[in-house]
Amino acid sequence: MSAIRFDDVWKEYGDHIVLERVTMEVEPRAFIALVGPSGCGKTTLLRMLLGEEQPSRGQILVDGKPLLAEPDADRGVVFQRYSVFPHLTVLQNVMLGREFRDAKFSARLFGAARRAAAADEAMKLLAEVGLAGQESKYPSALSGGMQQRLALAQAIMRGPKILLLDEPFGALDPGIRADIHVLMKRLWNETHLTVVMVTHDLSEAFGLATRVIALERSRNRPEERERYGATVSRDLEIFPRRRAELRSSVQPAPAGTTRSGKEHQPGRPGALVLKEQP
Ligand SMILES: Nc1ncnc2c1ncn2[C@@H]1O[C@H](COP(=O)(O)OP(=O)(O)OP(=O)(O)O)[C@@H](O)[C@H]1O
Ligand SMILES: [Mg+2]
């Protein structure tokens, strides 16, 4: 069963068609990079996945079930900025992730023992994202890269099945980005997450994702822009699915080939035309 399925999804705001005919299936544990020109509806698509927005037509299934109409603990999210709470310390921010999850099950958030166990887990997670020793600081005392690592830790502490990332690393310096990419890969490898990440950076898309999906409008003349929504225009598999990799004891396939030995097109970024809109 696919983790996520879009069945002919449309999103309109009044007369403005933002997305149309979006149909796609995302397999569990995939890492999807969603790319496309500014304004084509990438954030809108993520917000629908989060349950913050409803499709105007069509339906979205998560684990085979229609999506709940509001955000829940199964879906974690990290935005480009402002994902963490400025009035909470680093540790409190991560703990909050767990409280969000547990609030679903009980009115009382924590007994002392559960709270201690969660704090323990939060400290481990903070160490994993390179924030050991920063627990009692407030986000304003952290660099942008540290704040994004904190946001990742908070999202993962929720124990989501699906992690939604909206240009999470867009504002970071290239060096810090590279570090976070390594971290992101590790977190994804160590968990059972299905990731959908919006990015404008094609090297990030092709470097991290198992699949790159491009959204584009079929017609883009200014007078037609609001009458035609964006839809999936490219869907490129980057390397074989992780599950197959896990099952296989074979060493990684040489670059340029898939595990099945088929010739693989190693992410032809040139094939994707991402036009910035005026
Ligand atoms: N709540 C809303 N009401 C009306 N229009 C909206 C709303 N949310 C988004 N839109 C419109 O939908 C279109 C797509 O917006 P969206 O933010 O999804 O684009 P995007 O692909 O994420 O762009 P960017 O790459 O710049 O972040 C825009 O034209 C935007 O104005
Ligand atoms: Mg956006």
Answer yes or no: is pLDDT of 98 > 70: yes
Let me know if residue 63 belongs to a domain. yes
Let me know if residue 106 belongs to a domain. no
Q: Is 38 in the pocket of ligand 1 (CB under 6 A)?
A: yes
Mean pLDDT across the stretch 7-27? 95
Angstrom distance (rounded) from CA 34 to CA 65: 22
- Going by pLDDT thresholds of 50, 70 and 90, the confidence category of residue 272 is very low
| Ligand 1: centre distance to CA 43 (Å) | 7
Mean pLDDT across the stretch 71-88? 74
Angstrom distance (rounded) from CA 163 to CA 192: 10
Q: Whose CA is nearest to atom 4 of ligand 1?
A: 13
Answer yes or no: is pLDDT of 247 > 70: no
Let me know if residue 270 belongs to a domain. yes
Let me know if residue 51 belongs to a domain. yes
- Going by pLDDT thresholds of 50, 70 and 90, the confidence category of residue 110 is low
From 10, 12, 13, the mutation candidate for ligand 1 (largest count of ligand atoms within 8 A of CB) is 13
Residues 168/78, Cβ–Cβ less than 8 Å: yes
Among 164-173, 192-201, 228-237, 252-261, which stretch is predicted with the lowest mean pLDDT? 252-261
Let me know if residue 168 belongs to a domain. no
Among 48-57, 86-95, 196-205, 213-222, which stretch is predicted with the lowest mean pLDDT? 213-222
Residues 200/170, Cβ–Cβ less than 8 Å: yes
Let me know if residue 45 belongs to a domain. yes
Q: Is 229 in the pocket of ligand 1 (CB under 6 A)?
A: no
- What contacts 101, CB < 8 A, 6 or more positions away? 73, 157, 158, 159
From 9, 15, 17, 42, the mutation candidate for ligand 1 (largest count of ligand atoms within 8 A of CB) is 42
Let me know if residue 221 belongs to a domain. yes
Give the model's pLDDT for residue 196: 94
| Ligand 1: centre distance to CA 63 (Å) | 26
- How many domains are there within the chain? 1
Range of the domain at 63: 1-30+38-71+204-278
Give the model's pLDDT for residue 249: 37
Let me know if residue 103 belongs to a domain. no
Q: In what helix (H) or strand (E) does residue 22 lie, and over which residues does it extend?
A: strand 16-26
One-letter amino acid of 72: D
Mean pLDDT across the stretch 5-27? 95
Condensed to tens digits (0 to 9), the pLDDT of residues 118-165 reads 899 999 999 988 899 999 999 999 988 889 889 989 988 888 889 999
| Ligand 1: centre distance to CA 170 (Å) | 17
Q: Whose CA is nearest to atom 14 of ligand 1?
A: 41
CATH number of the domain bearing residue 262: 3.40.50
